[in-house]
Amino acid sequence: MRHTRLAFPREQKPGGRVRRALEVPRPRGFMGRVLPASFGAPPPPSPGVYGRCLVGEGAPLSAAALSCLQVGVSREGTVAAYGLLARESLGAGEELFSIPRTALLSQHTSTLAPLLRKEEASLQSSSGWVPLLISLLYECTVSNSHWGPYFSLWPQFTDLDHPMFWGPEERARLLQGTGILEAVEKDLVNIEMEYSSIILPFLKAHPDLFNPKVHTLELYRRLVAFVMAYSFQEPLNEEEEEEEPNPPVMVPLADLLNHVANHNANLEFSPESLKMVTTQPVRKGQEIFNTYGEMANWQLLHMYGFAEAYPGNTNDSADIQMLMLLKAALQATDTEMEEKLVLDQWKFLCHQEMVGEEGAFVIGWERVFTEEELSVALQVLTMSAEEFKEFKDQEAKTDRKGTTCLLESVTMIPNLSAAQKKLLFDATLLTLKGFSSSLKEEETMLGDLQAYLQLSRREQFALQVRYGQKKILHQLLELAK
């Protein structure tokens, strides 16, 4: 359950990393990271050094203990800077390693923990990340930090290759239509606003600890990406579901595992430690993959800097912006009266909180993740004036929102009324027009292995994102015919 979006609340899934919740409904789940080989990450440290890197001197998990683990650190067979490979064949349910809570790097274990508690009121933010980020700002730059060896795995954090670090022109060329452009723009605005309004005043108030010339906005941006790609968030239990989510923490060793949808390990939380446990048999030499949650490829690229190759990501999804459904409904009107009816229906849907200007309907390979929102919107936007009036009256009488006929599966789409299918079909076509290339062009590139391998890592990942989304949208066109 890795990652969350800065300045937005977070969703959670048990045993995963911090996941950025989006301002629109998302699939029920949550990260990983694939770093471009061209960035030249440092070679894996020796077992002894690695033990110190992970937990700090004197921590319970010693170098000797690490050498006895059933997994080994490697860059072979992995798509990231680091990965863990099985040293022997393992069965399902085996504990790979255990990280004591004393070894976690968080706002509570940082050298600055007492100061952060004292200044807690001034460090409140919508992201909830500020205390951890201040801890990282300090610990990664002070020469005698207990966590220095840990940070040495990521020198200056230059291996991070989230789209926020791509040039604007490159982002636009590769990611138009995917939803990543808009998400990155919001991230950059929120990061700068949080740094200038909260972080910088704190730095200036403690000149004995911080130097704004060292602890810059650029370093802060890098650390935000580091938290996005490597932090974990402990899930709330059932009694705590209405409370604020737990803050993110850095979990040495566990943060080296990469992600695939068909993962073979999962992180489990206990009062004393965090344990990585296999979820299926693993062969000797096979890479151990954690799950960052049910993440679409665009989320993986946006938040972690990589995407799974088609058709590996069974959790992939495509968005249809809610406003695109309104646009499709309006373009089908012939008179001012019909146009007014559609706008009244849209206003009603907004009041019912079924749609919003920044919202999106999320469609997966098998599921409609926003089933209620899409079902109700299609139903209301295709009603006649008389049907709409009756529907509103019934809603007011029963204080009932929505409908019991939900599109829980994409296989139910052919059962929609002809008008609803046409509306969905038209909105899907409009969405596909938002991409700068066609599905045929993507298929041609993917079908030419030599040409594909000549693409940069960024181009390959962006292509996988676009292709997966278009395949889902074209499947939707077929179902809505």
Domain boundaries, the chain: 112-233, 317-480
172 touches 181 (CB < 8 A): yes
**Mean of the pLDDT values across residues 16-20?**
35
| pLDDT of 31 | 30
Label each residue of 44-96 as H, E or C.
Answer: CCCHHHHHHHHHCCCCCCCHHHHHCCCEEEECCCCCCCCEEEECCCECCCCEE
Report residue 5 CA to chain centroid gap: 8
Dihedral sign for Cα 407, 409, 412, 413, please: positive
Same fold, 112-233 and 317-480: no
Q: Does domain 317-480 correspond to CATH entry 3.40.50.1220?
A: no
Range name among 71-80, 211-220, 456-465 with the lowest pLDDT average? 71-80
| pLDDT of 84 | 87
- Which residues are within 8 A (CB) of 266 and not within 5 positions of it... i.e. 6 or more apart? 15, 16, 276, 277, 279, 290, 291
Range name among 177-191, 297-311, 392-406, 439-453 with the lowest pLDDT average? 392-406
Condensed to tens digits (0 to 9), the pLDDT of residues 423-466 reads 999 999 999 999 999 999 999 999 999 999 999 999 999 999 99
Nearest to 18 by CA among 249, 226, 294, 242: 249
| pLDDT of 50 strictly over 70 | no
369 touches 295 (CB < 8 A): no
3-state secondary structure of 365: coil
Label each residue of 413-429 as H, E or C.
Answer: HHHCCHHHHHHHHHHHH
| pLDDT of 79 | 64
3-state secondary structure of 284: coil
| pLDDT of 319 strictly over 70 | yes
Range name among 78-92, 135-149, 410-424 with the lowest pLDDT average? 78-92
| pLDDT of 65 strictly over 80 | no
Name the token pair of 49: 């050094």
Mean pLDDT of all residues belonging to the chain: 84
- Which residues are within 8 A (CB) of 397 and not within 5 positions of it... i.e. 6 or more apart? none
| pLDDT of 46 strictly over 50 | no
Range name among 22-26, 218-222, 443-447 with the lowest pLDDT average? 22-26
285 touches 77 (CB < 8 A): yes
| pLDDT of 408 | 86
Measured between alpha carbons, how far is 29 from 300 in angstroms, rounded to an integer? 12
Range name among 30-44, 138-152, 451-465 with the lowest pLDDT average? 30-44
| Phi, psi (deg, nearest 5) at residue 100 | -65, 150
**Mean of the pLDDT values across residues 65-91?**
73
| pLDDT of 134 | 98
| pLDDT of 386 | 97
Alpha helices in 295-384 (DSSP H): 297-304, 322-331, 336-351, 371-381
Report residue 421 CA to chain centroid gap: 31
- Which residues are within 8 A (CB) of 479 and not within 5 positions of it... i.e. 6 or more apart? 410, 411, 413, 414
| pLDDT of 187 | 96
pTM for the model stands at 0.85
Q: Between these two residues, 297 and 62, which has the higher pLDDT value? A: 297
| pLDDT of 158 | 87
Q: Does domain 112-233 correspond to CATH entry 3.20.20.150?
A: no
Cis omega before residue 207 (within 30°)?
no
Name the token pair of 111: 């050298």
**Mean of the pLDDT values across residues 212-225?**
96
18 touches 299 (CB < 8 A): no
308 touches 267 (CB < 8 A): no
Condensed to tens digits (0 to 9), the pLDDT of residues 369-426 reads 999 999 999 999 999 999 999 999 888 777 555 455 788 899 999 999 999 999 999 9
Nearest to 61 by CA among 95, 93, 104, 108: 104
| pLDDT of 30 | 27
- Other beta carbons within 10 Å of 71: 23
| pLDDT of 290 strictly over 70 | yes
